[in-house]
Chains A and B, each alone.
Chain A
Amino acid sequence: MPVTAARALVHGLVVHAIDRKAGQEALRSLADWAFQFSSRVSLYPPYAVLLEVQGSFTLFGGQAALLKNLRTGLAALGYKTRLAGAPTPLAAFGLARCGSEQMIAAQHQLATALASLPVSALDWEQTLLDRLDGMGVRRLGDVLRLPRDGLARRLGQQSLLYLDRMLGRCPDPQELYQPVQEFKRHLQLVSEVEQVQALLFVLQRLILELCGWLQGQGAGVQSFTVRLLHRERRHTDLCIGTHRGSRDAGLFITLLRERLERLELRQPVIEIELHAGQPVKLDARSPGLFEKAGAQEQIDLLDRLRARLGDKAVQGISAIAEHRPEYAWSYSEPGASRKDSKDQHRPLWLLAVPRQLETRDGWPCWHGRLKLQASCERIESGWWDGQDIARDYFIATNPSGSCYWIYRELAGERRWYLQGVFE
């Protein structure tokens, strides 16, 4: 029925356009997500996904447990779904299509269970269904009672095959869906979003999809990027990392929240992209399923600190075999330190930038006149890279007993500098 005709019949009709492309995308992402429940997933467009679940019952601890997981997961993703199960794909589809959320385990129960369904349970063209209606056939049970040769003559051989497949009388192989190898999601927001909380709500769904996909792959990721798109092709990138690799949605959401709460949104967001890094193999144990409820995987300190403070604010340090004191150390990735060092008497604090000292009567001063220890260490090095130094280093004490590491330039104005504190 055309929309104009419908409008004429019903006053105040609200028309929603079906976005077929978006629907297909949603179906595919649902299939990606559903791989955690079965390795045999098929698309059944335009609005169904088939899972072969018999083989997964043991893994999930029974049919009821699997269904519960499936339902909770789907609800968290924000989908309204109807779940039905049967020994054949078409029967399961028919049940779900009619909103009859049954789980029929045995093939011999099929005919009885399907009998009461309306003929619209059949995924047939409307003309065929109209023809059935014209014959006074309303229920599937009525269809099944019709003589086979008459049925084939009136509705075609294909319809007979359909019914045979539905009842499991002949095989119905499905084309298996291949999950994506790289996780990338794009989401157009319904309205412009300025509130971080609202963004988090939307992102939560994408992260659940990501984690479902990872679970199906038996993998985790060490990082993923969230791109917030603004108008005029501007965007904000947030890179969320967990150095051990994970597929724990709770962890990802916490890290993302830390980052988002500190984000100043200069412009509203109109679209969101989520792009996962290279998946890394995790052990087969799936935390979402077997761990006790509430025993969330502990969030690694490093990830938490970096999520809020930024990667550069959290560092490890290395000692480097180098004569010039300022080059004898460097920042490094936490946990991966070089330890090349000669055992020399060095201060525990190094000043980021040496501080020039005043002199009084030729003596360097820092909160009073500094008393130098007799021994002096001469460091001349670095002629090869232009950062060469020539200095005499002393350990010096001021009148209040604080101990410092100072040096005097050997060339030029022969100034004194404070470079370290013997704390």
Chain B
Amino acid sequence: MNLDTLLQRPDVWRGGQASAAVRAVPSGFDELDELLAGGWPQGALTELIMPRQGIGALRLLMPTLARLSQDDRWICWVAPPHIPYAPALVSAGIDLSRVLLVHPKAQQDGLWAVEQSLRSGNCSAVLAWPTLEDNVILRRLQLAAEAGDAVGFLFRSQRYVQRPSPAALRLQLEPEADGSLSVSILKRRGGRAAGAVHLDTSLPHGSLALHSRTPTATGYTQPHWQ
């Protein structure tokens, strides 16, 4: 193995330069795409950490899901905490015929379903709300996402923020007083964990007002929640 092939590996991190090899799905928010070097990492897990419900975490994904629903693969929701409301999904531009809802009875079945969906290659995106502590399982999910070339979104509560995670991308979501959503990077594979953006995710989308928070001189912004 020579140096070039070694550097092509997505898990090799080069300081000061983002790897161009990571494929991304545009988020639909230009500023976020810029921050994430193209968007959500394809074939990987993204963790969205949020302090509570109702802050617009799902809205953040609507442009992505609308785009992915044009694909002929499923958008699989495993054990959502409430009913994904069909009229709102239609308004967001999602083709409902690509939406798959999975309601497992036991948590163990839920994780199994997430892993199967990610791995199958039949899903463009998998949404899940895991409450597990176990990193080994998360690693399995990350590998499954790679195998199935799916975008895995894990919505997680604030109490997991300090835990190390094998997810390719970890984002901290915070509501702002003006109703916009603050998104800051906790971890990004193949790039530095730097920067934050404020996104107006309010519906109807399309007219997005973006307010940027300029990274500090070192290129690293301490997430403001710490």
Contact = CB atoms under 8 A, between A and B. Distances in A.
A308 B58 CA distance: 28
Given A301-B122, A423-B59, A344 B102 contact: no
A150 B30 CA distance: 101
B87 A319 contact: yes
B121 A298 contact: yes
A401 B83 contact: no
Interface in B85-116: 85-92, 95-105, 109, 112-113, 116
Nearest to B177: A401
B175 interface: yes
A320 B86 CA distance: 8
A8 B117 CA distance: 68
Nearest to B83: A350
Contact of B59 (A304, A342, A422): A422
A230 to B, nearest CB: 25
A348 B85 CA distance: 5
Given A309-B104, A309-B113, A334-B100, A348 B122 contact: no
A88 B59 CA distance: 74
Chain B interface SS verdict (over half):
mixed
Interface in A313-363: 313-320, 328-331, 334-339, 341-352
A281 B87 CA distance: 37
A346 B101 CA distance: 19
Contacts of B103: 309, 312-315
B203 interface: yes
Interface in A283-322: 298-302, 304-305, 308-309, 312-320
A410 B176 CA distance: 33
A423 to B, nearest CB: 4
A319 B86 contact: yes
- Chain A's interface size range is 35 or more
Interface in B173-221: 175-177, 179, 203
Nearest to B51: A400
Interface in A402-423: 402-404, 420-423
B109 A351 contact: no
B130 interface: no
Contacts of B162: none
Contacts of A341: 86-87, 90-91
Interface in B124-179: 175-177, 179
A298 B119 CA distance: 11
Contacts of A330: 86
Contacts of A348: 58-59, 62, 84-85, 88-89, 92
B82 interface: yes
A351 B90 CA distance: 18
A367 B52 CA distance: 11
A343 B87 CA distance: 8
22 contacts: A299-B120, A301-B120, A301-B123, A309-B105, A316-B100, A316-B101, A317-B89, A317-B96, A317-B99, A319-B90, A328-B86, A348-B85, A348-B88, A349-B58, A349-B82, A349-B83, A349-B85, A351-B83, A397-B179, A402-B54, A423-B53, A423-B59
